[in-house]
Amino acid sequence: MSRFKSDARHPIHVSLNGEPVAGEAEPRTLLSDFLRHRLGATGTHVGCEHGVCGACTVVVDGMLTRSCLTLAAQVDGCEIRTVEGLAPAADRLGVLQQAFRRHHALQCGFCTAGILMSLDHYLARNPAPTEAEIRDLLSGHLCRCTGYTPIIQAALEAAAQLASSKKETSDA
Amino acid sequence: MVQAAVQSANSVDQGDDKPWVGRSIERVEDAALLSGRGRFIDDLGVQPGTLHATILRSPHAHADIVSIDVEAARRLPGVAAVLTGEQIKAVTTSLVVGVKAPVECWPIAVERVRYVGEPVAVIVATDRARAEDAAELINVAYRPRAATVDPLGAIAPGAPVLHDGFPGNLASDRAFRYGDPEKAFADAPHRFSIDIRYPRNSCTPIETYGVVASHDAGEDAFEVLANFQGPFSIHTVIARALKVPGNRLRLRTPPDSGGSFGVKQGVFPYIVLIAAAARVTGRPVKWIEDRLEHLTASVSATNRATTLAAAVAADGKILALDWDQVEDCGAHLRAPEPATLYRMHGNMTGAYDIGHVRIRNRVVVTNKTPTGLNRGFGGPQVYFALERLVQRIAIGLGLDPLDVIERNLIEAGAFPYRTATGALLDSGNYQDAIARAVEQGRLAELKARRDAARAEGRLYGIGFTAVVEPSVSNMGYITTVLTAAERRKAGPKNGAQATATVGLDPVGSVTVHVASVPQGQGHRTVLSQVVADVFGLEPKDIRVNTEIDTAKDAWSIASGNYASRFAAAVAGTAKIAAERVAGRLARIAASQLNVEAADIVFARGFVTSKQNPENRIAFSRVAALSHWSPGSLPDDAGQTIRETVFWTPPELTPPGEDDRINSSLCHGFIFDFCGVEIDRITLQTRIDRYVTMHDCGTILHPGMVNGQIRGGFAQALGAALYEEYAYAEDGSFLTGTLADYLLPTTTEVPEPEIFHMETPSPFTPLGAKGVGEGNCMSTPVCLANAVADALGVADITLPLVPARLAELVRGAEPPPPADGVAAAPARESDRRLRGEGQASVRGTPEQVWVMLLDPATLQSIIPGCQRVDKITETHFRADVTLGIGPVTGRYRADVELFDLDPPRAVTLRGGATGALGFGSAEGRVTLAPDGSGGTKLTYSYDAAIGGKIASIGGRLLDGATRVIIGQFFAALARRAGGGGASGGFSLLALLAKVAGLFGGRR
């Protein structure tokens, strides 16, 4: 295992939403700060910096990860997915994002990126969740605006849509 | 149920000629927010060379600053400046205080700290991490003073005084009398009274404060970008503090803000601090608050001690109220306080027709974070007392609580209705609202559920609340804190100037700008609906900008996002501005179409003759004419390029000579009832059903209105069941993380059943009233009433955590049986650390003794130890850096040895301080041969800690303790040549423990 000098910056290479990118980070630099301030991926937000609020949640090598509790140095060579990678095109939203918009599942939108990442990750593995399962999953995210219900409804509706479109694809 | 409610909120009727207002269209804000393209303050770039600030804060609730040594911090490479109170004072003046008193209010501690988290130094460096490194090198010597944290304790004789200008900690004491309350009380057959302690809490947005400031020395002008929410009356406070006229303070807001709920009004002292730092360094300076800072020291709602008495007739009719409110505004009375206490002044009789009222309002200061805006703003405190009292009256008279509510409601035919204290209630039909809620919310069935649950021996209760929700504050209500004579001297203050600008560009597309500073409420979407209706366009044709720039935009002191003023005031003003433009466009179109202006209608993108719909012209063509060919406009049309409207309702007059005040323009009505069940074993409160009926006048966007209700309900649920900004008696702050300050999550928040009726306000352009704050006022007391009903208890204090309910149901918990640990008597409030243990180390007691008293050995084995200095044979100083959970800090420990009995025993006593906390401790260590050539160490210690480290939660401290003790033992064993540890001991344990780092228990 390589040893970093504490007072120097070190190059960190990652795949960010499928694109190879690199930036320099001190050993103490958090992944959240690295994403936002070095790579310019400001869609990931920082709400508490102690792993409770969930706003900074990203996917690292297929694992849901609190980027505020992860060092940039830990993800060298990893594949990272963030909210910027969710939409199929710059002018088009994905199924989950559209469901959020329809259901008014966001107000200020600050916590939303983390919630979307958790749901996107979960729904890919659990295509037919119950409301209780979604509530359990999202209990690791704090939202101060919505009272949560519209988020739950958006998630359930998106899950149903994703499942039916997958079915259509496999039937074809 | 949930599904149906959400779907009905989302159904979009596409009928072409129906107005857009009233439809739940998708929000224009959402595409960017959902794809990571929001533009929050920390997402925006800064000018190259911008410096970054961090703030060193007080670990003490009340202490004199003896000295601040910043030399080492200043010398650190990358550090541009370290500013203490002295330096800030040199370039600013005190913030204005809202009452007449000889006190100063600085945004940073000057000579004395008065609350945990009060800024002590601002460190400015090339990046945030460097600034934080430097902050750890600052040594502040404090001389602690006694602290006072309870509002009634603070005004008791002998309490420590915070400000000499507030003798006895009393900042204001006013008495009011309306009608003839004395006679009403004397004549009434019944008198009921209740004592309330409403706790501290906050709506805690997920985005924290942020400020970027720069200073142009040539013009002595400041530019500030901050996620400030208004009111912009605060702009005058900031400019004054920075010693510039208002036109030299350009205040801008970012396009997006991550929630506020009032809280981001409190960023303003930090605007002053960061702007001052920009001035001193000559460079732009940026500061983003962290979560610990936010919870500890951003802003809080007020806590309040209230005694409320009612004179009551035999049938439950309330004849008079007698309020005694003691408002706790924390360590400084910051603008606009004591506004929390006076916001509700016109509404002290709630939804009831009560003719006689007496009020005593006292404002006190305590060693806690200064207070400010918070959703509900004064409403939760008032309604908790009033609606708890209504329940008490019902129980006392053997009546149904709902009957008592209904008996006292203002008559439906009485609107507009003037309350005893001066509010002019605009419209409503409270009886009808309650009748509908009872039916649609199935109260009869809920009562049957209660009866069935009780028959099974379960704890089930039903609570009711009726609330009038004021919105659009009168800028003059706060002057009710002054006497009529003082008001005459100060000049009149009143009104609520709202502003909106509608502009047409050369291709005829429409732009709207308002100074409403939304923080997530979707103002851009609603304004696009309102203006689209006026021009016969679609919302997507209207582009709305809600950023504010005080140097270029129309604004007033009333601008901003507070007092639920958007729908009622701002959206209506946008409608007026659009109508003015439309009126001129109609004249232009009339001349082009050869018809009368009265024959013109705006529909489907055209300006059309009503008589002959074929005779029409494209909206964009008419709209552009003012740019391209002003000469061809009819003489009376005027320009149609841009129209700015200011609107203030005439009903908002200043307080009268008799102290009556119409504190708000509109008054929505809420009736809530709920059923709760309390688990007999865990005493957890489960909401079985929550019904909330709202009349907020005309509904502009049903989806957003329901969003506001759900969001307010969830925050109120938190305030009722979980949340409290908790302080120890010594002023230590105990809830500095989101693992300690518990916000409700998806698993705690049920979906309320929301019902509406619409009684339009006659006072607002769209008939709309505010809706965002109501549940913060109604829900805490509705839940409390239900819990009181379930448990059959008279007194309920929030939050309703199971431990508190256990005390109500089972009595106070007896102290734990003595377990052999020498437990020194301690103040209950401190974070006490007590422990004992044993360890075995190779080497004789003599050898270990020498090692443990040798600075070089200690330095090498204490985790994080930078140096140990031996001052005398029995006096050590050590610098230790340790990180626990989110907080890493450097501590300076000072330890003296007593009762030395080499090599058998020693007593240690000492203290430690650091940026993150302070502590003191005493311990006894004994060494004995273990019979096989090694040494058995036995120790016990007793310590108390405070400051930031006390805020971060016992569970973190416990885990860290085990790690640090383990590290120390491994190092000691290595140094001693092997051996193992069977417990945890060390001088380190004591050194670091006194530094506040060991095994905390609340």
Q: Is the pLDDT of residue B990 over 70?
A: no
Q: Select from B31, B522, B737 the Cβ nearest to the Cβ of A50.
A: B737
Q: Which amino acid is at B153?
A: G
> Considering only the top CATH level, what class is B497-647?
alpha beta
Residues of A with Cβ-Cβ distance to B201 under 8 angstroms = none
H or E, element range at B856: helix B855-861
Contacts of B886 in chain A (CB under 8 A): 49-50
CA B228 to centroid of chain Cα atoms: 13
What percent of chain B shows pLDDT beyond 70?
90
Instruction: Give the 3-state DSSP-derived string for B79-100, with helices as H, strands as E and coil as C.
Output: EEEEEEHHHHHHHCCCCCCCCC
DSSP β-bridge partners for residue B890: B881
Residue-level pLDDT at B969: 62
Contact state of B36 with A100 under an 8 Å Cβ cutoff: no
Instruction: Tell if the CB–CB gap between B34 and A97 is shorter than 8 Å.
Output: yes
Nearest CB among A97, A140, A146 relative to B711 is that of: A146
Residue A144 falls inside a structural domain: yes
Q: Considering the domain B49-153+202-297 in this protein, what is its CATH number? A: 3.90.1170.50
B-chain CB neighbours of A151 within 8 Å are 746
Chain A partners of B290 at a C-beta cutoff of 8 Å?
Answer: 49
A135 and A72 share one domain: no
Determine if the peptide bond prior to B336 is cis (ω within 30°).
yes
Whole-number Å distance between alpha carbons of B508 and B518:
26
Are residues A76 and A108 located together in one domain of the fold? no
Contact A108 B738 (CB under 8 A): no
The answer to whether residue B829 scores a pLDDT higher than 50 is no
Which residues in chain B have Cβ-Cβ distances shorter than 8 Å to A111? 206, 258
Ramachandran bin of B631, using left for φ above 0, alpha for ψ from -120 to 50, beta for the remaining angles: alpha
Whether A113 and A97 have beta carbons less than 8 Å apart is answered as no
Name which of A109, A139, A151 is nearest B38 (Cβ-Cβ): A109
Q: How many domains does chain A have?
A: 2
Q: Chain B, 512-571: which have a CB under 8 Å from a chain A CB? A: 519-522
Residues A117, A66 share a domain: no
Nearest to B589 by CA among B645, B627, B633: B633
Q: Which residue has the higher pLDDT, B936 or B427?
A: B427
Can you name the residues that pair with B53 across neighbouring β-strands? B124
A157 and A109 together in one domain = yes
B519 and A108 within 8 Å at the Cβ level: the answer is yes
Which residues of chain B are within 8 Å of residue A32 when distances are taken between CB atoms? none
- Chain A residues with CB under 8 Å of B747 CB are 135-136, 139
Distance in Å, alpha carbon of A85 to nearest chain B alpha carbon: 8
Q: Out of A87-96, B318-327, B833-842, which region has the weakest mean confidence (pLDDT)? A: B833-842
* A20 lies in some domain: yes
> Hey, are the CB atoms on A144 and B713 less than 8 Å from each other?
no
In this predicted structure, the answer to whether residue B920 has a pLDDT above a threshold of 50 is yes
Instruction: Name the residue of chain A whose CA is nearest to B31's CA.
Output: A93
Q: What are the structural domain ranges in chain B? A: 49-153+202-297, 409-474+662-809, 497-647, 833-995
All residues of chain B having their beta carbon less than 8 Å from the beta carbon of residue A142 are: 206, 738, 743, 745
Predicted local distance difference test score (pLDDT) of residue B938: 81
Helix (H, G, I), strand (E, B) or coil at B170: strand
Residue spans of beta strands (DSSP E) within B266-355: 285-288, 303-312, 318-328
Q: Helices (DSSP H) in B308-462: which residue ranges? A: 339-342, 379-397, 401-408, 430-440, 443-455
Kindly provide the residue ranges of all beta strands, DSSP E only, lying in B58-185, ordered along the sequence. 63-69, 79-84, 112-113, 119-125, 139-144, 170-178
Yes or no, beta carbons of A97 and B35 under 8 Å apart: yes
A81/A137 same-domain check: no
Residue B948 C-alpha, separation from nearest chain A C-alpha, in angstroms: 15
B76 touches chain A (CB under 8 A): no
The whole-angstrom distance between A25's CA and the closest CA on chain B is 12
Q: Does B641 touch chain A (CB under 8 A)?
A: no
- Residues of B with Cβ-Cβ distance to A53 under 8 angstroms: 206, 291, 738
Q: Is B205 on the interface with A (CB under 8 A)?
A: yes
Same domain, A59 and A25: yes
> Which residues of chain B from 260 to 279 reach within 8 Å of chain A, CB to CB?
261
If asked whether residues A57 and A106 sit together in one domain, one would say no
Segment B23-44 mean pLDDT: 98
Whether the model clears a pTM of 0.80, i.e. scores above it, the answer is yes
pLDDT tens profile B796-818: 999 999 999 999 988 887 776 65
Q: State residue B949's pLDDT score.
A: 67
Handedness of CA B30, B35, B40, B45 (dihedral sign): negative
Q: Residue B698 in contact with residue B758, Cβ under 8 Å? A: yes
Domain that holds residue A156: 95-166
Asked whether the beta carbons of residue B206 and residue A42 sit closer than 8 angstroms, the reply is no
For domain B833-995, the CATH architecture is 2-Layer Sandwich (3.30)
One domain, residues A67 and A112: no
Is the separation of the CB atoms in B290 and B361 below 8 Å?
Answer: no
Q: At CA B991, angle to CA B989 and CA B996, rounded to 5?
A: 85
More confident residue, B934 or B164: B164
Q: Which of A42, A52, A109 sits opposite B738 (nearest CB)?
A: A52
- Whether A172 is covered by a domain: the verdict is no
Left if phi > 0, otherwise alpha if psi is -120 to 50, otherwise beta: which for B909?
A: beta
User: Cβ–Cβ of B33/A49 closer than 8 Å?
Assistant: no
**Chain A residue with minimum CA distance to B130:** A7
Q: Do A47 and B34 touch (CB under 8 A)?
A: no
Looking at the predicted structure, is the pLDDT value of residue B545 above 60?
A: yes
The greatest distance separating any two alpha carbons of chain A, rounded to the nearest whole angstrom, comes to: 57
Residue A159 per-residue DSSP state: H
Q: How far is CA B233 from the centre of its chain?
A: 19
- HEC letters along B758-801: CCCCCCCCCCECCCCCHHHHHHHHHHHHHHHHHHCCCCCCCCCC
Residue A110 lies in a domain: yes
Per CB-CB distance under 8 Å, the chain B contacts of A39 are none
Average pLDDT over residues B213-234: 98
* Cα Dmax for chain B: 116
Decide: B553 and B513 in contact? Cβ < 8 Å.
yes
Contact B882, B864 (CB under 8 A): yes
Q: Which residues of B959-978 are buried (b: 16+ CB within 10 A; e: fewer)?
A: ebbeebbebbbebbbebbee
Binary contact (B886, A109; C-beta < 8 A): no
What CATH number does the domain containing A65 carry?
3.10.20.30
Question: Sign of the C-alpha dihedral, residues B711, B338, B655, B550?
Answer: negative
From A166's Cα to the closest Cα of chain B, the distance in A is 23
**How does pLDDT run across B863-919, given as a tens digit for each residue?**
778 788 888 888 888 888 776 655 667 777 888 888 888 888 888 887 777 766 777
Q: How confident is the model at residue B986 (pLDDT cuts 50, 70, 90)?
A: very low
**Residue B644: its pLDDT value, please?**
98
End-to-end CA distance of chain A: 49
Mean pLDDT of the B217-236 span = 97
Domain annotation covers residue A150: yes
Region B158-183 average pLDDT: 98
CA distances from B958 to B222, B647, B962, B986 (A): 47, 58, 7, 17
pLDDT in tens, B192-205: 999 999 999 999 99
Contacts of A144 in chain B (CB under 8 A): 203-206, 259, 261, 711, 714-715, 743
Query: For residue B689, which of B183, B100, B204, B2 has the smallest C-alpha distance?
Result: B2
The pLDDT of residue B33: 98
CATH 3.30.365.10 for domain B409-474+662-809: yes
Summarize pLDDT for B283-337 with one digit per residue, the tens: 999 999 999 999 999 999 999 999 999 999 999 999 999 999 999 999 999 999 9
- Name chain B contacts of A138, Cβ cutoff 8 Å: 745-746
Instruction: Find which of A9, A52, A108 to mutate to test the B interface (most B CBs within 10 Å of its CB).
Output: A108
CATH code, A141:
1.10.150.120
Q: How many other CB atoms are found less than 10 A from the CB of residue B13? A: 9
- CA B7 to chain A, closest CA, distance in angstroms equals 8
Q: Is residue A122 part of a domain?
A: yes
Least confident range of A3-7, B773-777, B984-988: B984-988
Torsion of CA A138, A141, A147, A149, to 10 degrees: -20
E strand or H helix that includes residue B367:
none
| Inside any domain, residue A5 | no
Q: For residue B981, what pLDDT is reported?
A: 41
* Rounded distance between C-alpha atoms, residue B980 and residue B974, angstroms: 9
User: Using CA atoms, how far apart are residues B473 and B262, in angstroms rounded to an integer?
Assistant: 13
Q: Do residues A46 and A66 share a domain?
A: yes
pLDDT tens-digit series, residues B79-112: 999 999 999 999 999 999 989 899 999 999 999 9
Phi first, then psi: give them for residue B643, nearest 5 degrees.
-135, 125
**Inter-chain contact B207–A47, Cβ cutoff 8 Å?**
yes
Per-chain mean pLDDT for chain B: 91
DSSP H or E stretch at residue A16 = strand A10-16
pLDDT at B424 over 70: yes
Is the predicted pLDDT of residue B144 greater than 50, yes or no?
Answer: yes
Q: Specify whether A69 is located in the same domain as A106.
A: no
Q: Which residues of B touch A135 (CB under 8 A)?
A: 746-747
- Whether A29 is in a domain gets the answer yes
CB atoms within 10 A of CB B177: 15
Asked if B707 and A113 come within 8 Å (Cβ–Cβ), the reply is no
Cβ pair A152:B522 closer than 8 A = no
Nearest to B207 among A110, A147, A152 (CB): A110
3-state secondary structure B545-610: ECCCECCCCCCCCCCCCCCCCHHHHHHHHHHHHHHHHHHHHHHHHHHHHCCCHHHEEEECCEEEEC
A43/B35 Cβ within 8 A: yes
Residues of B in contact with A43 (CB under 8 A): 35-38
Question: Do A88 and A100 touch, CB atoms closer than 8 A?
Answer: no
Partner-chain contact B207 A143, CB within 8 Å: no
Q: Give the ipTM.
A: 0.97
Q: Within its chain, how far is the Cα of B846 from the centroid?
A: 58
Give the Cα-Cα-Cα angle B364, B784, B307 (nearest 5 degrees). Answer: 35
Distance from CA of A172 to the nearest CA of B (A): 30
Q: Using a CB–CB cutoff of 8 Å, tell me whether B46 touches chain A.
A: no
Q: Which amino acid is at B563?
A: A
Using a 10 angstrom Cβ sphere, with 0-12 exposed, 13-18 middle and 19 or more buried, the burial of residue B196 is buried
Cα of B325 to nearest chain A Cα, Å? 29
Rounded-to-integer distance, Cα B604 and Cα B989, Å: 78
Distance in angstroms (rounded) separating the CA atoms of residues B344 and B473 = 10
For chains A and B, count residue pairs whose Cβ atoms are closer than 8 Å. Answer: 191
B1, B10, B206, B708: best mutation site toward chain A, by most A Cβ within 10 Å?
Answer: B206
pLDDT of B479-511, one tens digit each?
999 999 999 999 999 999 999 999 999 999 999
Q: Do B259 and A42 touch (CB under 8 A)?
A: no
Please report which confidence band the pLDDT of residue B860 belongs to, taking 50, 70 and 90 as the band edges: confident
